[in-house]
Amino acid sequence: MQERSSVAELAASLRSELNRYSIGGKLPSSRALVERYRVSPVTVSRALAQLAAEGLVVTRPGAGAYRARPRTAEAVPGDTSWQEVALSAEGAGEVVPRSVDASGVLQSLAAPPPGVIELNGGYLHPSLQPERAMAAALARAGRRPGAWGRPPMEGLTELRDWFAREIGGSVTAADVLVAAGGQSALTTALRALAPPGAPVLVESPTYPGLLAIARASGCRPVPVPVDAEGVRPELLAAAFDATGARVFVCQPLFQNPTGAVLAPARRTEVLRIARAAGAFVIEDDYARALAHEDAGPLPATLAAEDHDGVVVHVRSLTKATSPSLRVGALAARGPVLDRLRAIQVVDSFFVPRPLQEAALELVGAPAWPRHLRTVAAELRHRRDVLAGALRRGLPALRLPHLPSGGYQLWVQLADGADDTDFTAAALRSGVAVAPGRPYFCAEPPAAYVRIGFAGVSGAVELGEAVQRLRSGLGPHA
């Protein structure tokens, strides 16, 4: 078989030979298949991924591929059709029935098949995670006196104090609750501030996880358009007037997915408009630790500039560390803090103390600022490599804004293109990107995809990804 042989041809050859191996038996190594069939490692990887998707083989990272156990006929399932009535009856009398649509979140959390380059994720690649520092912090935390005891329900005082200093302004530890990551904190905030059926103003486009939270809570997300300088204040004021909403959720710094930073003049306007409407602003400060090397001085948090208890601040350590370090914070002032605390206690009691102790050890170690500097330099480099490769290899794509923080590019497709078609074609080419449609809670104004650059091993893999996209989609995709 020559190098030009297709993935389909190799998959067919391997499929026809599977009976030679016992159930659970190991197939030849990728190197052996490359030499035997005279194909590239990428072709082998894609062919094995296709067989894995068909349930014929099981791939184990670092170990190889094995013949899978044949699927046996499943037992006849019971009749669960009654659940449709039971689940829908809950929302029969509600203005906005509750629904749980996790598709947008799952697209960013799902691991791609073997051999596919992951540009749809939202976490740092293991090579960028401070694994040694985290391991050392966890070991030190485990030896702390009382580390395995019950923590204060609000969180460790020292950790709350650290979060308060990071948030800035006059925020103190007394204003902070330790939360189990940003998603949990956002869920608590929305449940505290917006009753079922209430409208919730959101940026458009915005993070799909937020839209999922709102809809699962029975709230109605209402879009407010974002441009290169963040949310547009005149449209925000109009949305408050038209809907009577009492909550606006925003990401003022490196907005996901656009990467926009809320302009200085707009920051004051957003707070003024919300205060006049008697509304809260949930500030999701998810990417402050993901500023690029060329970002310059970062603006203060909205919470630091708020003196009237308008802002409920959300942040997390997860994005800058590891998906499994799910430690974040909620900060608020006034009676709303008691409601946030009550909801969090009912939902989860508290964040496990060993995890809080480990987070405290990590952010207090000399390795922490070094890690942030490394991430800042690497994210800037990857952003530039990816943006340059897209402009050269796929000139039909448009980059409305080059962000100075975060981990993604928000890319507009050529006129007439469809984001779901583009995403499917990209996956067939061996690249996973995120379709733009789940980022809108109303009709998208144009077709977009979100292309991440933090979840790969480095710049070389980004270049390979764009080459695959160009080969599979063509330069005019």
Whole-number pLDDT of residue 8: 84
Q: What CATH code would you report for 7-67?
A: 1.10.10.10
The tokens for 462 are 């980004």
Q: Is 434 exposed, middle or buried (0-12, 13-18, 19+ CB in 10 A)?
A: buried
Spatial neighbors of 308 by CB under 8 A, at least 6 apart, are: 275
CA angle, 442 then 446 then 447, to 5°: 100
Model pLDDT, residue 420? 93
Q: What is the pLDDT of residue 476?
A: 62
Nearest by Cα to 188 from 159, 226, 155, 164: 155
What is residue 332's predicted lDDT score, i.e. its pLDDT?
93
Q: Which pLDDT score is estimated for 474? A: 76
Q: Write the DSSP symbol of residue 405.
A: B
pLDDT of residue 3: 43
Q: How far is CA 266 from CA 246, 287, 299, in A?
A: 19, 19, 12
- Alpha-carbon span 160 to 262, nearest angstrom: 26
Domain 99-128+369-473: top CATH class: alpha beta
Answer whether 252's CB lies under 8 Å from 267's CB: yes
For the beta carbon of residue 352, count every other beta carbon within 10 angstroms.
16
pLDDT of residue 307: 87
**448-452 and 408-412 as β-strands: parallel, antiparallel, unpaired?**
antiparallel
The dihedral region occupied by 400, where left means phi > 0, alpha psi between -120 and 50, and beta the remainder, is alpha
Q: How far is CA 198 from CA 93, 191, 202, 332, 401, in A?
A: 14, 11, 13, 21, 33
Cα 105 to chain centroid, rounded: 7
The two beta strands, 328-331 and 176-179, are antiparallel
| Cα within 13 Å of Cα(101), Cβ side | 14
Residue whose entry in the numeric block shows the structure tokens 């499917």? 424
**pLDDT (0 to 100) of residue 143:** 87
For residue 60, the model assigns a pLDDT of 82
CATH topology of domain 145-363: Aspartate Aminotransferase; domain 2 (3.40.640)
Please report, in tens digits, the pLDDT of each residue of the chain (477 residues total).
444 457 888 888 898 888 888 888 888 988 888 888 888 888 888 888 888 888 888 888 777 888 988 766 555 566 656 555 555 554 445 566 666 676 766 666 677 778 899 999 889 999 999 999 999 999 999 888 888 888 999 999 999 999 999 999 999 999 999 999 999 999 999 999 998 889 999 999 999 999 999 998 889 999 999 999 999 999 999 999 999 999 999 999 999 999 999 999 999 999 999 999 999 999 999 999 999 999 999 999 999 999 888 999 999 999 999 999 999 999 999 889 999 999 998 888 889 999 999 999 999 999 999 999 999 999 999 999 999 999 999 999 999 899 999 999 999 999 889 999 999 999 999 999 999 999 999 888 899 999 999 999 999 999 999 999 999 887 766
Domain parsing of the chain, residue ranges: 7-67, 99-128+369-473, 145-363
User: What are the DSSP calls for 178-203, one per residue?
Assistant: EESSHHHHHHHHHHHH--TT-EEEEE
Ordered DSSP codes for 346-398: HHHS---HHHHHHHHHHHTSTHHHHHHHHHHHHHHHHHHHHHHHHHHH-TTSB
User: How far, in Å, CA of 389 to CA of 431, rounded?
Assistant: 14
CA-nearest of 181, 183, 377 to 291 is: 377
pTM: 0.78
| pLDDT value for 79 | 61
Distance of alpha carbon 276 from its chain centroid, rounded?
A: 32
Question: Helices (H) and strands (E) in the chain — how many of each?
Answer: 17, 15
Closest CA to 230 of 194, 199, 206, 200: 206
Residue 260 phi/psi, 5° resolution? -70, 150
Long-range contacts of 335-341 (CB under 8 A, 24+ apart): 336/192, 336/193, 336/280, 336/309, 336/312, 337/175, 337/177, 339/192, 340/177, 340/188, 340/189, 340/192, 340/312, 341/153, 341/154, 341/177
State the DSSP string of 306-349.
-SSS-EEEEEESGGGS-TT---EEEE--SHHHHHHHHHHHHHHS
